[in-house]
Amino acid sequence: MNAYDSLLQRSREIAIYNSAASLLSWDQETYMPPKAGAYRAEQLSQLAGLTHRLGTAPEVGDWIKACEDSLPATADAEETALREANVREWRRDYDRATKLPGRLVEEFARTTSLSRDAWAQARRESNFAAFAPWLEKILALTREQAECWGYSTCRYDALLEGYEPGARAADLTPVFADLQKQLSPLLPALEKITGAVDPARLDGEYPVDVQRALNQQIAEAIGFDFEAGRIDTTVHPFCTEMGPRDCRLTTRYDVRDFTSSLSGTMHEAGHGLYTQGLDAAHFGTPIGTYVSLGIHESQSRLWENQVGRSRAFWAHWYPRAKEVFPSLKALPLEEFWLLVNRVKPSHIRVEADEATYNLHIILRFEIEQKLVAGDLSVNDLPAAWNARFQQIFGLSVPDDARGCLQDTHWALGLIGYFPTYTLGNLNSAQLYAAAVRHEPAMVEELAGGNYGRLLAWMREKVHRHGRRYSPTELIERATGEPTRAIYFLDYLKGKYGL
Amino acid sequence: MNAYDSLLQRSREIAIYNSAASLLSWDQETYMPPKAGAYRAEQLSQLAGLTHRLGTAPEVGDWIKACEDSLPATADAEETALREANVREWRRDYDRATKLPGRLVEEFARTTSLSRDAWAQARRESNFAAFAPWLEKILALTREQAECWGYSTCRYDALLEGYEPGARAADLTPVFADLQKQLSPLLPALEKITGAVDPARLDGEYPVDVQRALNQQIAEAIGFDFEAGRIDTTVHPFCTEMGPRDCRLTTRYDVRDFTSSLSGTMHEAGHGLYTQGLDAAHFGTPIGTYVSLGIHESQSRLWENQVGRSRAFWAHWYPRAKEVFPSLKALPLEEFWLLVNRVKPSHIRVEADEATYNLHIILRFEIEQKLVAGDLSVNDLPAAWNARFQQIFGLSVPDDARGCLQDTHWALGLIGYFPTYTLGNLNSAQLYAAAVRHEPAMVEELAGGNYGRLLAWMREKVHRHGRRYSPTELIERATGEPTRAIYFLDYLKGKYGL
């Protein structure tokens, strides 16, 4: 076997073990009995160790080097370009992985698997002290990882690189500051416009089974393939892939408000459409893999917000919602639309409106940089969070469950992940604007509940490429320019008529 | 590390990969989206190959040999005995596994994973021709396995050994013939006694949610720990273990008859109690593993039949069932009890009563011996099945879905498995009789819905030993004699007053 084929085989072998680990993680969140947690951690740790060993074996380095020196020729220029991209990405992954000792990889997997349960309990009890030792340990392991990976200016960049290749804190900081600067002055007007309707008007009885059926119908309508995926229920919604035709979404239900679960479903289904749009023939290789979390999030936000909070969307779906939910009987469409677009500073990120959401990210981006740098101790985290929250949102934090304990990310060891959410918001608006510009016919089709043209455009411009282009290249090829905040701000202003 | 500790570590490492494979299989039956099937087969095949390589590596043979030559001494005689048993069982597994080439193991796993879907569709459509090529292939692979393993008199023994260590077709044949000889003359009387009530009296409305809740309550009452297990829904019910505190049961529901799902749940919960009674500290080693399918089945049958079809059981639970199922209002306990104990020859093994059930096994035992020996071709299977079924049951087979396509076993490559069901039936009656003889107080407790003493006896005499003793030794130690048919026949006669 030549070096390229050896890499292909190894890459697919690792993908199979990773997909088994994905199922173990998915099951842990959905169906696993509570006493099984300790052994589940051992299972995940052993699989992580195995794939680390397979991915960092010396022969892998030799194969990559051999391909870099001379890639076996193919008759097809497109095929050659794909192979070159695969080799480039294998090199990136290999260099990143070989810098970590296997011991650190296994300890990280075991710790984060156990800390997840500790976090869930701490959040239930709003007991930060119970989670603090876990966060301490995760931060120590994370700093150790960052030192292994290396960085040029700040340690945080080494983490960010794992989620958004090429992104640097020093580049994001001014973009985020600029966004905050332009966004904050808009908020009072948005709050006023959307505050005209009492949120209690939406309060009603929305049986879980009926919500589940409506969510599924809408997810199907936007193009999610339920023959190659499903939706289950978890505390923290997510989307995960465990094979080329096996994409699992999760959501959670509020029996007093069906829009929360529906928005969550649109969001995860947006991730799922990206996943299902990857080339199954390349599953397990870079070309068949999503390129970054910021691009992934651009797809979830697109379907959740640009589509799922539009007037056109609800003009089509609201009559159906009224049919199945008698609680909506006395609530006219325009008032309902204002409620699903309600802007109001609040405590919980995942329940935030699309405008103030970015302020939640800016807060976390600031704080996790300090935690990683060692400029903020874990014990001081709640106080620092609460003080900064007050400054940004003008709200005090009632308890840590609604403060620094609310997100699962740090408990899972996902530090440096948060900024990709705001990158996603900016890219979703920029991609949507480009799609409409390129194919204006889709506007009318979307109003008719026909999402095929928009999905096809995203498939063509984003999904099918996997990691062939960097996130920045992908956005430039699709929209003609790098990521800018202006499309998101214009989208918000246009929507509310400012 | 000494040889024993190396074996311990390797054994536990393999158990982790096997438990991941168990989850992949469980998910395939419960929640996996249909298009994911092909990749799932690759996942299972790769894991099977990995564990085969780990289990058959030359160093494993060296370690076993070293332990056989001189096992490191321990101060504790009990601990020494456990270690000796582990070494003995590792030797057995190693010898069995090293006789199979890795290529055959992987091909068998891939084929049976794919054939499962083919079988499910063939059964739905009662289309034997669609399944025949799969069975052909599985039989070829199975014969190849048997030849690798070796045998002294007949090829079938090499397969049987995998499910019931020490059992031989030549020993089972006269026992089964004797059982059939004594059982058949009883059937007309049993059919007459239990046929006094029209089965339509049970026909009613039993909502799935209510059935699920009652099943769960009863499974909990007999001692199944839902913190370390759960129940889901599948076409073919099963019990599987994916960790020391993670036991999954499945059942299926008939909305016109709640007793079918409840019996199935009692049966799988019986398996689950055995699983949960194994020593978690020894998980992944022979001492922490069930000893044979016949012993496993003795536990499922005990709770399904000796307990779950007794007058005492229903005297306690029938009032509760009447509360939740208004359909039962006009049906008195004694008539209901006759219906759940109805004896009547029928086509489907898993729905058969406890008396005629054994005739289904005897049929399969005969047929699979012929298939394996090559004395019956796959194409002739339906005709041979139907003819023999007519002779034994006096019934014609309306279609293959209710004939030779009904069971999932052959599609999964489980050939030589069926006789363990009847061994289980005989052992369940023999163990139950011994338990009552040793601790007569349990009779009154069982009538009061208190199952603790019976479970404790099984834990002590059967569960906790894992593979420490052979199945035959285990039964002799627990009951004072080898497996005999008399206890099962006496139990039947006593129950129906013959």
B475-490 tens-digit pLDDT = 999 999 988 899 999 9
Confidence band for B498, pLDDT divided at 50, 70 and 90: confident
Nearest by CB to residue B39, choosing from A40, A46, A246, is: A246
Mean pLDDT (whole number) for A290-294: 98
- A positions 252-311 inside 8 Å of B (CB): 283
A29, A32, A246: best mutation site toward chain B, by most B Cβ within 10 Å? A246
Residue A34 contacts B where some CB pair is shorter than 8 Å: yes
Coil, strand or helix at A444: helix
pLDDT by residue (tens digit) across B272-297? Answer: 999 999 999 999 999 999 999 999 99
| Chain-chain contact of A230 with B20 (C-beta, under 8 angstroms) | no
| Chain-chain contact of A34 with B244 (C-beta, under 8 angstroms) | no
Mean pLDDT (whole number) for B293-315: 97
Percentage of residues of chain B with pLDDT beyond 90: 93
Instruction: Kindly list the residues from chain B whose CB atom is less than 8 angstroms away from the CB atom of residue A38.
Output: 245
Q: What is the pLDDT of residue A316?
A: 97
Distance from CA of A245 to the nearest CA of B (A): 5
Mean pLDDT (whole number) for A166-174: 91
Query: Position of tokens 């199954």?
Result: A280
Read off φ and ψ for residue A370, nearest 5 degrees.
-65, -40
Given a cut of 90, whether residue A413 has pLDDT beyond it is: yes
A207: alpha, beta or left, given left = phi > 0 and alpha = psi -120 to 50?
A: beta
Residue B232 contacts A where some CB pair is shorter than 8 Å: yes
HEC profile of A55-66? HHCHHHHHHHHH
Alpha helices in B288-327, H assignment, sequence order = 293-301, 311-324
How many whole angstroms separate alpha carbon A433 and alpha carbon A440?
A: 10
Residue A42 contacts B where some CB pair is shorter than 8 Å: yes
Residue A226 contacts B where some CB pair is shorter than 8 Å: yes
Q: Are B293 and B424 in contact (CB under 8 A)?
A: yes
Given a cut of 90, whether residue A236 has pLDDT beyond it is: no
pLDDT by residue (tens digit) across A420-448? Answer: 999 999 999 999 999 999 999 999 999 99
Distance from CA of B345 to the nearest CA of A (A): 39
Confidence band for B63, pLDDT divided at 50, 70 and 90: very high
Rg (CA), chain A: 23
pLDDT by residue (tens digit) across B5-60? Answer: 999 999 999 999 999 999 999 999 999 999 999 999 999 999 998 999 999 999 99
Mean pLDDT (whole number) for B125-146: 97
B268 catalytic, yes or no? yes
pLDDT by residue (tens digit) across B430-458? Answer: 999 999 999 999 999 999 999 999 999 99
Residue B99: C-alpha distances to residues A85, A355, B104, B106, B373 (Å): 44, 65, 10, 14, 20
Which chain A residue is nearest to residue B16, measuring alpha carbons? A43
Residue B355 contacts A where some CB pair is shorter than 8 Å: no
**Range name among A69-73, A410-414, B298-302, B451-455 with the lowest pLDDT average:** A69-73
* Tokens representing residue A91 in the block: 């090199």
Residue A399: C-alpha distances to residues A129, A396, B135, B235 (Å): 12, 9, 62, 47
- Please, which residues have CB within 8 angstroms of residue A256's CB and are 6 or more apart in sequence? A203, A204, A205, A206
Mean pLDDT (whole number) for A256-261: 95
Nearest by CB to residue A36, choosing from B35, B43, B228, is: B228
Instruction: Kindly list the residues from chain B whose CB atom is less than 8 angstroms away from the CB atom of residue A226.
Output: 33
Q: Are B399 and B393 in contact (CB under 8 A)?
A: no
HSE-CB at A20 with a 13 A cutoff on CA atoms is: 33
Query: Position of tokens 């219906």?
Result: B339
Nearest by CB to residue A244, choosing from B24, B39, B228, is: B39
Q: Are A207 and A255 in contact (CB under 8 A)?
A: yes
The residue from A268, A297, A304, A354 that is catalytic is A268
Instruction: Kindly list the residues from chain B whose CB atom is less than 8 angstroms away from the CB atom of residue A230.
Output: 31, 33
Given a cut of 90, whether residue B236 has pLDDT beyond it is: no
Given a cut of 90, whether residue B354 has pLDDT beyond it is: yes
Residue B24 contacts A where some CB pair is shorter than 8 Å: yes
Nearest by CB to residue B36, choosing from A33, A232, A243, is: A243
Which is nearest to B164 in space by CA: B30, B45, B298? B298
Q: What is the pLDDT of residue A74?
A: 86
In terms of C-beta distances under 8 Å and separation of at least 24 residues, what long-range contacts does A401-404 make, across chains too? A401/A123, A401/A124, A401/A125, A401/A126, A402/A126, A402/A347, A402/A348, A403/A347, A404/A128, A404/A367
Q: Are B275 and B309 in contact (CB under 8 A)?
A: no
Residue B208 contacts A where some CB pair is shorter than 8 Å: no
Q: What is the pLDDT of residue B20?
A: 98
Q: What is the pLDDT of residue B1?
A: 85
- ipTM of this complex > 0.95? no
| Chain-chain contact of B27 with A23 (C-beta, under 8 angstroms) | yes
Read off φ and ψ for residue A239, nearest 5 degrees.
-130, 130
Q: What is the pLDDT of residue B102?
A: 79
C-alpha A304: how far from chain center: 12
Q: What is the pLDDT of residue A73?
A: 81
Mean pLDDT (whole number) for B238-257: 96
| Chain-chain contact of A36 with B283 (C-beta, under 8 angstroms) | no
The whole-chain average pLDDT of chain B stands at 96
pLDDT by residue (tens digit) across B177-211? Answer: 999 999 999 999 999 999 999 999 999 999 999 99
Given a cut of 90, whether residue A329 has pLDDT beyond it is: yes
Given a cut of 90, whether residue A113 has pLDDT beyond it is: no
Q: What is the pLDDT of residue A482?
A: 87
Residue A110 contacts B where some CB pair is shorter than 8 Å: no
Q: What is the pLDDT of residue A1?
A: 85
